Amino acid sequence: MQQKADHQVPVLVVGGSLVGLSLSLFLGRLGVDHMLVERHAGTSIHPRGRGNNVRTMELFRVAGVEPDIKTAAALLAGNHGIMQAPTLVGDAGEWLFKEIDPGGGLARFSPSGWCLCSQNDLEPVLVKSARALGGDLRYFHELESFEQDPEGVTAFVRNRDSDELYTVRADYLVAADGPRSPVRNRLGIGQTGPGDLFANVSVTFRSKLLADVVGDRRFICCYLTNPEADGALLPVDNKENWVFHAPWHPENGETLEEFTEERLQRHIRLAVGAPDLDVEITGRASWRAAERVAEQYAAERVFLAGDSAHEMSPTGAFGSNTGIQDAHNLAWKLAAVLDDWAGPGLLQTYDAERRPVALATSERASSRSVEHSHPGFAPPPGIGGGKRGGILNVVLGYRYPQGAVVGADPSQPIVPDGMNMSAEPGSRAPHMWLRRAGEQVSTLDLYERSLVLLCDAGSSAGAAWHAAAVRVAGTDGVRLDAYRIGAGPEAELAYDAEGDDWTAVHGTTADGAVLVRPDGFVAWRSTGAATDPEAELRQVLTTVLHRR
């Protein structure tokens, strides 16, 4: 008989960095009680992981924290692009790209944009919001071990302050506990991929004179290429606080102890090209870039997310963003199963959907590092040789050919070559502006707590789809909202501008319907009317949600 635990929660999250905190936020938004334990005493103090891509910002928008994140990111709001230069003295160097969104074309695809917010600024925003939603966040608490059985997980957690050991009983455990994941290791889950790529020592420093050397070049990052002192320079406030990534070569026997304060000061001055630059070292931390993906993302009732599931080269900021999107994918599935409107089989689609995305994205990240000649990265043959080019298709265009979808084309690549956001099953639903009760909303704002059926307000087939969805939601216990789009009193959503056409945007007709999941991915699409829309919709929901 199971001994009574000290605490009982539906979900235990292990790891309180960006991914764990994002999962806590998303679970809180969905009303899922949970506990989070993090072995460190508080949030990150090092300015790292600053690139939040447009898809991540869409998720934070729907979760209600996008304005707070933008406020936290205000100091770097004017920084764009990546430079490469032999020195910052004079005009030498070139922009690898100068604008993240040249010409403002991104607005066609999304209501959000990229946001440069360092981890040490972002994490406190997530903590505040997650706790406001009821999240039990416990810092300086460490998972020591856990046991699974058919009904749940029993975890043994130590309060590192008091040394008290207590037990937590959870239906599910999610490990967001970093690249060396003790949970993944305990489960015996292996990893695929080439492994370590390169290593850096990240240095925070103060310099009042460096801003004059940089001038009006408001970059996100500058790769400095002096062969005697290469590295990457990143502004923290564009004034006197900076970060420098210096290459570290442990494979040649180089130790961290060799990176003395004097050596780092000399290295930074030489890299910048200013021998008299004032450099006050305020902190340092080592890190290794790697390309690895876990061989599986789940073992019964335990799931991996973020760096415990995948490691990626930092170029392009793919790693943390992919992890946050892992958390979002898993959160709605946990909520649906715990609330009993989906079957447990839905959770198996987490691995089927997210692991292929990590494999494709990690390969693109390594290619990006080769393309940008990241300091310290000398790739051996076969590493980083994948597709190159733009990253918007990687960020917004990735697909789930298999998983909680009906009608997806399994032959399609995970990451398409171009941007074709036309509501194909398994793809992220397209953005368009609409009006709800007179207020402008993006279609993406509709997707969070329930499945959503979109249909046309001007056709009899649209009315039949809408009525079927209302009946199914009322009788089957599925969280399903239905919206008719168009003109007239029946429409819950009106067009924002003359000439808008939701059917063209969503690849259907006025007689069709589109079913979108709570995470904003298209679950299924019908391009025309159905003989029995209620029966068809019920069958689709049974398949997508793994209902018995």
The residue type of 450 is S
Residue 407 forms part of a structural domain: no
Q: What pLDDT is recorded for position 1?
A: 42
Structural domain harbouring 278: 193-290
Whether the pLDDT of residue 381 is over 60: the answer is no
Q: Read off the pLDDT of residues 479-498 as tens digits, 9 standing for 90 and up.
A: 999 999 998 899 999 999 99
The pLDDT of residue 344: 98
In-domain check, residue 540: yes
275 located within any domain: yes
Q: In this predicted structure, which of 128-137, 244-253, 450-459, 535-544 has the lowest mean pLDDT?
A: 244-253
Looking at the chain, the whole-number percentage of residues with pLDDT higher than 90 is: 82
Q: Are residues 442 and 528 in the same domain?
A: yes
State residue 409 phi and psi, 5-degree precision: -90, 105
How much is the pLDDT for 417? 86
Mean pLDDT of 46-62: 90
Domain shared by 311 and 388, yes or no: yes
State the chain's mean pLDDT as an integer. 93
Over residues 425-482, the pLDDT tens digits come to: 999 999 999 999 999 999 999 999 999 999 999 999 999 999 999 999 999 999 999 9
Angle, in degrees to the nearest 10, between helices 18-29 and 119-132: 30
Q: In this structure, are residues 312 and 298 in contact, taking their beta carbons and an 8 Å threshold?
A: no
| Pair (179, 202) in one structural domain | no
379: pLDDT strictly greater than 70:
no
Residue 386 has pLDDT above 60, yes or no: no
With respect to residue 248, please indicate whether it lies within any of the assigned structural domains: yes
pLDDT tens-digit profile of 168-215?
Answer: 999 999 999 999 999 999 999 999 999 988 899 999 999 999 999 999
Of 290, 314, 329, the domain-final residue: 290
- Does 342 lie in the same domain as 252? no
Q: Are residues 187 and 198 in the same domain?
A: no
| Alpha-carbon distances, residue 102 vs 94, 105, 111, 321, 433 (angstroms) | 17, 7, 16, 21, 21
84-119: string of b/e by CB count within 10 Å (b at 16+)? bbebbeeeebeebeeebeeeeebeebbbbbbbbbbb
Do 152 and 210 fall within a single domain?
no
Strand partners, 141: 159
* 350-365 per-position pLDDT tens digit: 999 999 999 999 998 8
Whether 350 and 309 share a structural domain: yes
Q: Are 201 and 170 within one domain?
A: no
**How far is Cα 153 from Cα 148, in angstroms, rounded to an integer?**
4
- Does position 100 have pLDDT exceeding 80, yes or no? no
511 inside domain: yes
Q: What is the pLDDT averaged over residues 299-317?
A: 92
Mean pLDDT of 384-390: 56
* Max Cα–Cα distance, the chain, nearest Å: 79
Which tokens sit at 524? 């299924």
pLDDT at 368 over 90: no
Residue 409: inside a domain: no
The residue from 371, 396, 421 where one domain ends is 396
Mean pLDDT of 103-126: 92
Look at residues 340, 367, 396 and tell me which one is the last residue of a structural domain.
Answer: 396
Whether 283 maps to a domain, the answer reads yes
CATH number at residue 129: 3.50.50.60
Q: Tell me the residue ranges of DSSP E strands in 457-545.
A: 480-485, 494-495, 513-516, 522-526
pLDDT at 122 over 90: yes
What's the number of domains the chain is made of? 3
CATH of the domain at 206: 3.30.9.10
Clarify whether residues 338 and 469 are in a common domain.
no
Can you tell me the distance from the alpha carbon of 22 to that of 519, in angstroms, rounded to the nearest whole number? 14
Does residue 285 sit within a domain?
yes
Torsion of CA 414, 318, 367, 179, to 10 degrees: -100
Same domain, 267 and 354: no
Claim to verify: residue 282 and residue 215 sit in the same structural domain: yes
Nearest to 453 by CA among 509, 530, 514: 514
Residues 299 and 315 placed together within one structural domain of the fold: yes
Q: What number of other Cβ atoms are within 10 A of residue 123's Cβ?
A: 23
Q: For 191-348, where are the alpha helices, taking DSSP H only? A: 210-214, 261-272, 318-338
Q: What percent of the chain has pLDDT over 70?
A: 96
Domain harbouring 491, CATH code: 3.40.30.120
